[in-house]
Amino acid sequence: MTHLLEMKDIYIEGESDEKWLPIINGINLTLDKGEVLGLIGESGAGKSTLGLASMNYTRQGCRIASGSIIFDGTELVGASTETLRKIMGVRIAYVAQSAAASFNPAHRLVKQYAEAPTQHGIMSFQKAEKEAIDIYRRLLLPDPEHIGYRYPHQVSGGQLQRAMVAMAMACQPDIIVFDEPTTALDVTTQIEVLAAIKKITQEFNTAAIYITHDLAVVAQLADRIMVLRYGDLVEENNARKMLSNPKEEYTRQLLSVRTLTENKDLSVSEKDVILKVEGVTASYTGKEIVLEDIDLKIRRGRTVALVGESGSGKSTLARVITGLLPPLKGKTVYDGEMLPPALKNRKRDSLRVMQMIYQMPDTALNPRQRVSKIIGRPLQFYYGMRGKAAEDRVLELLDKIELSEKYKDRYPTELSGGEKQRICIARALAAKPDLIICDEVTSALDQLVAEEILKLLRDLQNELKVSYLFITHDLATVKAISDEIVVMLRGRIVEQGRKTDILTPPHHEYTELLLDSVPEMDPNWLDGVLAERARKIAQGIEVKTTFIEE
Amino acid sequence: MGQIIELVVKRIALGLVTMVVISLLIFVGVEALPGDLATAVLGQSATPETVAAFRKELKLDLPPHVRYFAWLGGFMKGELGNSLANQRPVAELIGWRFGNTMFLATSAAVVAVPVALILGILAALYRNTLFDKSISMATLSTISFPEFFVAYILIALLSVQVVIFPSISNINEQMTFWEKIHAIVLPSLTLTLVVVAHMMRQTRAAIINILASPFIEMARLKGIKRMRVIVLHAFPNALSPVINVVAVNLAYLIVGVVIVEVVFVYPGLGQLLVDSVSKRDIPVVQASGLIFAATYVALNLLADVMSIISNPRMLNPR
């Protein structure tokens, strides 16, 4: 039997410092009509590169060194640009990770939808316009008749991602390459997009290559899964077989659910409270309220997880606490003493007790400073340490974050993402703070690396009795690390309490939606959730699938 | 829409403030010139008494701030006063010449802007090819030579070696439009050669910058042809920097043409300004200076507004 797509012995190289280094090492990939293939791996595994190579396309600075790509009987390696151009968008379409970046901001959605079919001479603009409405409707986009006439910035992230799936469907291609299409979305939005992708690929019997780092997501869609690592194939199997019986250790690690929980004494006592936020209302413009009437307590040696979707005000609250954004109303009390609202009025010691770790370690570290200088700066600033004393302390801190002392002379660019985040942690610890605010610190990291960072943070807490305010949208992280949970929605707290209380029913309806939306490894999970919703609607129970106004 | 109007009004207000500051600078600058009309007209041998009497007659003896406000007030009412040198109204002197300057600038802009944009787009399309490199070389060479040098080369080639165009562009009101155009081909060409490089390179750079965006990759993966990707996807998003550099160059065409006008003996405002400075004809110098400044401010204002309008986020708010 011939396959729809057959990639044989693919070697892809990337240029770095005028040398060609291997990215993909001799991978074979086949795809049959209507089949969904999941490509799994961490960043740098070569998933996107391999996916794009299905249409013999490589990004700037990459090349397909050898191999053969046969699509529907045509050899694409060595084919003319014109042959390839006639396949792209028509027979093989692409859905990118960030719809916000991948839609042209200057044109309306339907114009971009209709571009491939009209430019390839498949149909007239009028016909494409009509078909767009049908596809938008199938993808459950609101107001399908008119949404196409909006500009990309006028629709929400989840809608835009579905509009991009629609755009990929415009020529009814044989294959769609989905490149992490839900990674940038909130969980409640992700579930909508996943459902839309599943629905439309089934209805049109479209084959798909689904690229992701999230096994639980691919479990819902894929018939077959390939696990990649450093450009090599680790394991390939039928999806269900792989999930129930992974053969390789690496796959098992990816599959393992994070379990960092330990039983702590969580009895509440008022004297442990180190930071109190009382009645805080804040706004950036003075008009639109971003935070409303927030009350929060953080106790010594505990972790408070601040959960919510993008735009819920989590990071704004961190800015208020640190004094970056003075609130309109309310106050921040540290250790029984009210802190001045604005950063510039705070004393050096009240700056010291609170430190921050950011989402992007790349941008949080000065690329022109060595690690010793980055960590040494707070030592000098808060403690006036210099010379030998500071040097010893830097080594001590490096030891705490489990990096050897040779790291002290490196520049941030010489470090991996996980190592950079460790340096950020060391910099925060250098001030000997009571509270560390962690703003999405694991979001930009690979799953296994993220887990190690969480472990490190937990160990440091046990050793140093530091408190964390852990801002995240990822419920798995919350389950793994928190002692108390605060759920935020549109600038307000909808529910807060001890982790065990929040995670056991009955929940607030928003918390329930958040918890229900986290994909599980069970391949039947998505179908189950959708069936449950359909059942409720049939019974006349209102089902809210979002609490964010779109 | 309201947001745009608010922004535009703010920019206009800022422009007015700039104009007041400039008027002050012009006044102070002219004050700082050594000597004045009285010494210039009466010559070295005049007695101090005659100079003083002449000054009194021209009201040059009043304190500077009184003269500044009198001048500014007159300017607001459209009274530019009379030339000190020949007693003709300044408005009449300047009006015709400013028209000529605009005519020359427009003729250069009509050629230079489209040529620069098209060359920029083509250079981006055929990036790093021989075509791209030769365009860069050619435009950079023309911008590297001083204007008067380019002007004399053109005269040598096109009005001495091959007699096609006149080397003196002395136009007057009796000439027809086409006669005027024929007369100004060489200065116009000189200006075009001088401004094209800047605009072309900015267009090329802005488009190449946009070509790295994910939405360009998306367009290519939809199988769209390269030319269409550049013209329809990259160019509209590169407009803002391009508009700004075009505005700066247009302003230069009007304000910076002094040398070219002198070389071709063209009766424009720049030449009048140079003459008036040497004659210490203060009302003419001040008025020309202020008109140049106003042109500059107005063009930059226009560029700002166009940049705002070219941004779909501003034009179509959520």
pLDDT of residue A260: 58
Q: How far is CA B186 from CA A217, A223, B160, B193, B265, in A?
A: 68, 72, 12, 11, 12
pLDDT in tens, A400-429: 888 888 898 999 888 888 899 999 999 999
* Residue A478 pLDDT greater than 50, yes or no: yes
Residue where a domain terminates, one of A430, A453, A473: A430
Half-sphere exposure of A144 (CA within 13 A, CB side): 15
CA distance A343 to A339: 9
A95 and A232: one domain? Answer: yes
In this complex, do B223 and A90 lie within 8 Å of one another by their Cβ atoms? yes
Cα–Cα–Cα angle for A427, A429, A430, nearest 5°? Answer: 65
pLDDT in tens, A37-69: 999 988 778 888 999 999 999 988 889 999 999
pLDDT in tens, A442-464: 887 888 888 888 889 988 998 88
State the Rg of chain A over Cα. Answer: 25
Does residue A59 sit at the B interface (CB-CB below 8 Å)? Answer: yes
Mean per-residue pLDDT, A115-140? 92
Task: Yes or no: say if B167 and B160 are a contact pair by the CB < 8 Å rule.
Answer: yes
Residue A545: Cβ within 10 Å count = 13
Does residue A455 sit at the B interface (CB-CB below 8 Å)? Answer: no
In a domain, A218, yes or no: yes
The answer for residues whose C-beta is within 8 angstroms of residue B250's C-beta and 6 or more apart is B105, B109, B113, B299
Full domain range(s) for residue A236: 32-48+85-254
pLDDT of residue A262: 59
Nearest CB neighbour to B215, from listed A89, A103, A154: A103
CA distance B188 to B192: 6
In this complex, do B223 and A106 lie within 8 Å of one another by their Cβ atoms? no
Average pLDDT over all residues of chain A? 88
In a domain, A134, yes or no: yes
DSSP E strands: which ranges in A182-231?
Answer: 207-212, 224-229
User: What is the chain B residue with the closest CA to A170?
Assistant: B222
In a domain, A229, yes or no: yes
Cα B182 versus chain centre, distance: 22
Helix (H) or strand (E) holding A92: strand A92-95
What φ, ψ does residue A308 adopt, rounded to 5°? 170, 170
pLDDT of residue A550: 44
In a domain, A115, yes or no: yes
pLDDT in tens, A225-235: 999 998 899 99
A228 and A377: one domain? Answer: no
Residue where a domain terminates, one of A207, A230, A254: A254
Mean pLDDT by 10 residues, chain B (318 residues): 79 89 87 71 75 77 82 79 78 86 92 94 90 90 87 90 86 86 91 90 92 92 92 90 91 86 88 83 84 88 85 75
In this complex, do A105 and B312 lie within 8 Å of one another by their Cβ atoms? yes
In a domain, A263, yes or no: no
Between A17 and A261, whose confidence is greater?
A17
Annotate A2-59 with DSSP letters as a single string: --SEEEEEEEEEEEETTEEEEEEEEEEEEE-TT-EEEEE--TTSSHHHHHHHTTT---
Nearest-Cα distance to chain B for A130, in Å, is 19
Nearest-Cα distance to chain A for B162, in Å, is 47
Token couple for A191? 């579930």
* Residue A180 pLDDT greater than 60, yes or no: yes
Most B CBs within 10 A among A104, A147, A161, A549, hence the mutation to make, goes to A104
Annotate A421-450 with DSSP letters as a single string: HHHHHHHHHHT--SEEEEESTTTTS-HHHH
Nearest CB neighbour to B215, from listed A102, A116, A153: A102
Helix, strand, coil share (%) of chain A residues, nearest 5: 40, 25, 35
Residue A129: Cβ within 10 Å count = 17
Q: What percentage of chain A exceeds 70 in pLDDT?
A: 96
CA distance A53 to A34: 19
Does residue A104 sit at the B interface (CB-CB below 8 Å)? Answer: yes
Q: Is A56 left (phi over 0), alpha (psi -120 to 50) or beta?
A: left
Nearest-Cα distance to chain B for A235, in Å, is 29
In a domain, A356, yes or no: no
Nearest-Cα distance to chain B for A157, in Å, is 13
CA distance A480 to A475: 8
The residue ranges of every structural domain in chain B are 101-277
* Residue A120 pLDDT greater than 90, yes or no: yes
Q: Structurally, how many domains does chain A consist of?
A: 2
Q: What is the ipTM of this complex?
A: 0.80
Q: Which residue, chain included where needed, has tokens 């401010």?
A: B297
CATH number of this structure's domain B101-277, picked from the four choices 3.40.50.2000, 1.10.3720.10, 3.20.20.140, 3.20.20.70: 1.10.3720.10
Task: Yes or no: say if A378 and A351 are a contact pair by the CB < 8 Å rule.
Answer: no
In a domain, A269, yes or no: no
In this complex, do A104 and B215 lie within 8 Å of one another by their Cβ atoms? yes
Does residue A85 sit at the B interface (CB-CB below 8 Å)? Answer: yes
